[in-house]
Structure 1
Amino acid sequence: MRRRRFLVTGLGVAACLAGCGDRHAGRAPGAYEILGGGERWSRVAEAFTQVARGAGYPVGGAGPVTTITITGLPALAAAELNAAESPLHGTTPLARLAGEVEVVLVPRDSGLATFDAFGARLRADPTGTPLAGGPQGAPDHLLFGLIARGLGADTRQVDYTGYPGISEVAAALLAGRAVAATGPLAGWRPYIDRGRVRVLAVSCAERFPGLDAPSLLELGVRVDFASWCAAVGPGGMPQESREAAIGMCEEVTGSPGWQRTCREGDWMPIPLAGDRFAAWVVSEVRRTKAVLRDLGLLESGKGTT
């Protein structure tokens, strides 16, 4: 199975900020340890660590350590599907970091020339419009659920098949087993660059730089979506420690190094920190649960808080 390119490039961004020293060491006692909440997030944690160190923050080393964990939407959705503990449970929300841009694609020779044509077919015949993407309940599936809802299609009738990786999704799409597919732009880049598929839309609020495709919002579908990742601290963080960690997240996500890392990985920086991020997380959890229920993957009445 082909691994997704997940913030692989740009991990050496600390070089552009090197020489700063630990100028932030006095803001809070001890140092930070940045951990990926699972293999999917390990490279994000590495990128964050590099940029934070380059900006002069004490990451790693001796003394008391505050552990910051990187997690995100896939882990949240998986927990809901499996009635497991949320990755946000017992944590202190700190900041949203970045989002993996998703694309809606069709084969190069598809008769669906535009997203509007695809949307009209999905509204008219959701069961006869087979769709493909990552595993059921994962961000790709959530995006098609949001699109169906935004178009006024019967979400529970959406014919979606989940695959373990993009190579399998692409094989299904190009063999005609799916009318359209969705997935992360980074993973689909080789197919796009070789002209094997056409991008009908991107999931972010505005057009993505370097890609000639409209956003869903531009097309009149009220969906702004990304497979986001975020930084959370341990539960019950003292206020001083929380504020210091939030300040670090804000400086990292606003730095040229982080911007470059996101750009090279086909991610978009979507920084949001502190109380605003905590409030956003509540609304995002609700949206995720609602889409899972719409798709028939989560029983109605469960997980409503």
Structure 2
Amino acid sequence: MITPPASRFLTRRRWLAHSAALLATPFAAMANPPQRLGTQLRIVIPANPGGGWDQTGRALGAAMISSGLTDRILYENIGGKGGIVGLTEYTKRYGSDPNSLLIGGMVMVGALALNKKSAELHQVQALARLTSDYLVVAVPLDSPIANPKALAKAMRDNLPALAIAGGSAGGVDHMYAGMLARQSKANAEQLQYKPFAGGNDVLQALLHKQVQVGISGYSEFRDALQAGKLRALGVSSRRAMFGIASMRDQGMDAEMSNWRAVFTGRNLPAERAGQLLAAIEYASNQDSWKQALLSNNSSASWQTGKALQEFLEVETSTAQLMSYLLRLKS
């Protein structure tokens, strides 16, 4: 059991505010292509097809091919438990493979914390954080929950009767659902959270009225929102995004961002890890990658080295703290 020091959480919020400008700053483009990685590279995506990790992994692979860094990418989707299944399989099968990468992010960090397995993240080495984005809270178009105020009332009145769909247990969607319950002054321990392996599954659960509320990235909800099949209650950013008002501006001070990163095997020599990182940075400056960011409504959030390691430590501590404070259950 960890002790929930409030000062640690507040320090993280100040740290995020201080570094926001850095996250939005484009990283310098490399003048010349780095060394080719070989004819074939494997990218393991620890989630089902169609979600944010899948979009990120395939966009990165496409950029690597288009920039001549490799000839072929093998994509391997291994979904389950917020990335824990994929992480375990990756470590077992590709921990020493010099031609493999693993996609991950805040969802995996949260799932590991929820299952008290945070130490397992040390089985891989982080190369670069790639993107950050925000969450959208949505309901079916005919839902009686018309806005965040109505959502807060529904949570206070009968939280156990309100099924909320999102990504895997312990992930950023789950933590955000808990934050909303806490902001609504409901008992977060009664949260009825329905985890799904991918954003498309969350969307389908909403459209088929299997749940009352859904939480996912804007890219997963975009088409249904534009088609008038869903109503967005708000976005988890500080201010409006995607033409959607923030939950914070509508009276629910619940702000949270998602991020995605790329890892490789812990046992790789430093030289090979450096080659992979150089290739990822070069690919991330290609037009195809930049277009994918626009299409997926994500923002570049490049970070490597010591700064990334410190960031991961903060995120892990925060996930552990949030799991404790919100009494999240797997």
Please give the TM-score of this superposition, normalised by the length of structure 2. 0.65
Quick one: distance in 1 between partners of 2:183 and 2:303? 25
> Residue 35 of structure 1 aligns with which residue?
43
State the SS of the aligned residue for 1:248. Answer: helix
Are the equivalent residues in 2 in contact too, given 1:31–1:58 (CA < 8 A)?
yes
Quick one: distance in 2 between partners of 1:141 and 1:96? 21
Which residue of 55, 64, 89 maps to 2:67?
55
TM-superposed deviation, 1:149: 3.8
TM-superposed deviation, 1:89: 2.5
TM-superposed deviation, 1:144: 0.7
Cα-to-partner distance string for 1:160-195 (whole Å, 9 max, x where unaligned): 34467231233236xxx62x3322333323431222
> Residue 222 of structure 2 aligns with which residue?
189
* Greater fraction of residues in helix: 2
Residue 47 of structure 1 aligns with an amino acid whose one-letter code is A
Change (3 A) 1:76 1:249: same
Q: Which moved more, 1:113-122 or 1:187-196?
A: 113-122
Q: How is 1:247-258 mapped onto 2 (pairs within 5 angstroms)? A: 247-258=278-289
1:213 aligns with 2:244: yes
State the SS of the aligned residue for 1:156. Answer: helix
Are the equivalent residues in 2 in contact too, given 1:32–1:67 (CA < 8 A)?
no
Change (3 A) 1:233 1:136: closer
State the SS of the aligned residue for 2:228. Answer: coil
Number of residue pairs matched by the alignment: 268
TM-superposed deviation, 1:141: 2.0
Change (3 A) 1:69 1:128: closer
Quick one: distance in 1 between partners of 2:61 and 2:160? 47
Which residue of 87, 90, 95 maps to 2:123?
90
Q: How is 1:1-305 mapped onto 2 (pairs within 5 angstroms)? A: 23-25=33-35, 33-40=41-48, 41=53, 44-58=56-70, 65-82=98-115, 88-99=121-132, 101-119=134-152, 121-122=154-155, 124-125=156-157, 127=159, 130-134=162-166, 136-150=169-183, 153-162=186-195, 165-166=201-202, 167-172=204-209, 178=212, 180-208=213-241, 211-219=242-250, 221-226=253-258, 228-235=259-266, 237-297=268-328
TM-superposed deviation, 1:38: 3.2
Are the equivalent residues in 1 in contact too, given 2:135–2:235 (CA < 8 A)?
yes
Quick one: distance in 2 between partners of 1:60 and 1:202? 37
Quick one: distance in 2 between partners of 1:255 and 1:286? 34
The runs of 5 or more residues in structure 2 that have no matched partner are: 1-29, 74-96
* Paired-residue identity, %: 19
Quick one: distance in 2 between partners of 1:94 and 1:82? 24
Q: Which moved more, 1:280-289 or 1:101-110?
A: 101-110
Quick one: distance in 1 between partners of 2:116 and 2:310? 23
Are the equivalent residues in 1 in contact too, given 2:44–2:100 (CA < 8 A)?
no
Quick one: distance in 2 between partners of 1:162 and 1:238? 37
Are the equivalent residues in 2 in contact too, given 1:126–1:158 (CA < 8 A)?
no
State the SS of the aligned residue for 2:209. Answer: helix
Quick one: distance in 1 between partners of 2:132 and 2:57? 14
Are the equivalent residues in 1 in contact too, given 2:62–2:288 (CA < 8 A)?
no
> Residue 302 of structure 1 aligns with which residue?
none
> Residue 4 of structure 1 aligns with which residue?
none
Are the equivalent residues in 2 in contact too, given 1:151–1:221 (CA < 8 A)?
no
Q: Which moved more, 1:286-295 or 1:78-87?
A: 78-87
State the SS of the aligned residue for 1:69. Answer: strand
Are the equivalent residues in 1 in contact too, given 2:34–2:278 (CA < 8 A)?
no
Residue 206 of structure 2 aligns with an amino acid whose one-letter code is V
TM-superposed deviation, 1:92: 1.6
Are the equivalent residues in 2 in contact too, given 1:106–1:197 (CA < 8 A)?
yes
The runs of 5 or more residues in structure 1 that have no matched partner are: 1-19, 300-305
Are the equivalent residues in 1 in contact too, given 2:35–2:275 (CA < 8 A)?
no
Change (3 A) 1:256 1:130: same
